């Protein structure tokens, strides 16, 4: 997907940062909203994270396997 390793690393780092921020947002919603809202939000974030991994991160790792973090192996 992204052949330039420096750009791939920059995008990978951003994706990992965004994953963390989205995970934090799930905790915020869980702690401050009702159960139904929290469930719907968690499901939506899961969809976003799934697409991020499949459509962006996995193609990057296909080109640059060494960028894949241990927790995603």
Q: Domain residues of the chain, as ranges?
A: 5-59
Q: Is 29:38 a contact under the CB 8 Å cutoff?
A: yes
> What pLDDT, in 10s, does the model give residues 4-60?
999 999 999 999 999 999 999 999 999 999 999 999 999 999 999 999 999 999 999
Q: What is the pTM of this model?
A: 0.86
pLDDT of residue 61: 96
User: Helix %, strand %, coil % for the chain, to 5?
Assistant: 85, 0, 15
């Amino acid at each position: 997907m992204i052949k330039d390793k420096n750009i791939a690393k920059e995008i990978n780092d951003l994706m990992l940062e965004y994953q963390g921020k989205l995970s934090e947002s799930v905790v915020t919603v869980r702690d401050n909203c009702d159960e139904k809202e929290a469930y719907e939000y968690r499901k939506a974030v899961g969809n976003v994270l799934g697409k991020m991994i499949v459509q962006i991160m996995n193609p990057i790792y296909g080109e640059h396997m060494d960028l894949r973090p241990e927790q995603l192996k």
